[in-house]
Every structure is written in C-alpha cells, then in structure tokens.
C-alpha cells in the first residue's frame, strides 16, 4: 500500500534554513521533503517519549498505584530467590 502524501506550504526563517542546511546529513541536504519528514518524525517520537515519561511520573506519584506496587513487591519478595542456589560464602583467611 502506497503512503499518502499531504502537501503543506510553510514559511521558514532564512536563518533556520541556513542552519538546518549546514547541519543536515549529506543524504538529506538536497532533498528538503525528506529532511522535513525526518525532522517531523523525530519531533513526534520525542514528544511521545516525553508524554510517556510524564505518564510514568504521574503513576509513580499516585498513592493507589504506590500501595499496589508495595503489595506486589512484598508478594514477590518471598519467592524471588526460588530455584536459585545460595551464594557461596566468602572463605575466611586465617593469618
């Protein structure tokens, strides 16, 4: 299935065009459509990551979620070492 394109016309400050042109990778310098697409994809990805981090911070601060996490942690603490061999004790060196 082909990707649909939407045409948009934007006015960019010359300073920004010059700066982007100077730092763009060689494969994107000559193709502004691709350069803008890559830049907008990176922007959207960073915004999604920031929103995810904010959501996680809100969850971490939520008292109900913290209580449930404490319950789960206590339940797993009893069995977290099941099936594992105990660590060998450190030998005592006599002088």
pLDDT digits (tens, 9 = 90+) for 45-73: 999 999 999 999 999 999 999 999 999 99
Residues 6+ apart with CB under 8 A from 12: none
14 neighbors 21 (Cβ within 8 angstroms): no
Task: Quote the mean pLDDT of the chain.
Answer: 89
Q: What is the pTM of this model?
A: 0.64
- Radius of gyration over alpha carbons of the chain, in Å? 27
Spatial CA neighbour of 35 closest among 51, 46, 13, 19: 19
């Amino acid at each position: 299935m082909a990707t649909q394109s939407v045409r948009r016309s934007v006015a960019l400050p010359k300073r920004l065009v010059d700066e982007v042109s100077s730092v763009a990778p060689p494969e994107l310098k000559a193709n502004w459509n691709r350069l803008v697409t890559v830049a907008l994809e990176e922007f959207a990805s960073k915004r999604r990551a920031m929103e995810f981090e904010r959501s996680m911070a809100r969850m971490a601060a939520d008292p109900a979620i913290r209580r449930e996490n404490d319950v789960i942690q206590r339940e797993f603490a009893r069995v977290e070492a099941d099936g594992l061999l105990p660590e060998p004790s450190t030998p005592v060196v006599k002088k």
